[in-house]
Amino acid sequence: MDYGKPNLLDPMPVEFPPYLLILGKEERMAQSEENRLRLRASLGKADASELEEQEGVVLYHRNFRIFRSIKGFHTGYLDLTGRHLHRYIEIVDRFLAYAPDLCEVKKLETEFTFDEKDWSGVDVTYIDYKFSDDGSAWDAFRKKWKISPRFSFGRFVEQAQKTATLLQTGGPPSFQKLCLDHLPPKILDRIYEFASLGDARIISCTCRIRSLVFEHPDGRNFRTEKSELDLVEHQSLALASSDRLTSTVDFLLKHPELIEQLQTLTI
């Protein structure tokens, strides 16, 4: 039965790969929806405000990742990218970079409270802020640092203050000591031997060196099912392996930092 071609303008269930960054799934799904709305907008089938709102959703996950990542370093639980010193420095530097600007914005705000009924009809006291400059400094801050409009001033300040407190009193960060390449080569080879093609790619994504080996394999690492080998001429397979080997050599020559870490090379 022919179900026809999928309509790219409609939402579609998408199966995403494992996510290396915290909030990666949420960002990827939001990005997929943004791309769909962008296509619809280019065809005049979506309002520009819808696209702008969805762009804010993508930004929100990226903004919030900074707070969650710093917390992850101090709790010892983060994501597949790992808790490494260079990454921690980059994230903290990013956070500290906009701290002075945020302090300047806070000088212009005044906190006030108001009562309002919630969805169940119960009176609730809420906190809000007003600015002496009508919020122009906050708008400029959001534009400069690419802060999502989904972040209210109060919500953003709350997260920033929690993160600052964590950096000051939360104890030292927990850096990762063990990595994938610390396993003996024979164990790694055994893992790859039994891993499916998809699983091997997943494992390789967590390590730059393993990714290099997997994405640019030589003949020994090229895994093809027996049923597939019966359909491929040996000469074509040999030529393809030769091309991959040439590509590997070219790749290594362009990345001397990887060559320095090589201990043995068998061709």
Q: Cβ(244)–Cβ(218) under 8 Å? A: yes
Give CA–CA dist 237/242, Å, rounded.
Answer: 9
Q: How confident is the model at residue 216 (pLDDT cuts 50, 70, 90)?
A: very low
DSSP state of 126: E
- Phi, psi torsion values for 139, nearest 5 degrees: -65, -40
Establish how many alpha carbons lie within 13 A of residue 56's alpha carbon, considering only the half-sphere containing its beta carbon.
Answer: 13
96 pLDDT above the threshold of 90: yes
Q: Is the pTM of this model over 0.85?
A: no
Q: Cβ(195)–Cβ(189) under 8 Å? A: no
pLDDT tens for 100-126 read 999 999 999 998 888 887 778 888 888
pLDDT tens for 29-81 read 999 999 999 988 888 888 889 999 999 999 999 999 999 999 999 998 888 88
pLDDT tens for 120-154 read 888 888 888 889 999 999 999 999 999 999 999 99
Give CA–CA dist 255/234, Å, rounded.
Answer: 32
State the residue for tokens 């040439």: 246
> Which residue, among 88, 30, 60, has the nearest Cα to 151 in the 3D structure?
60
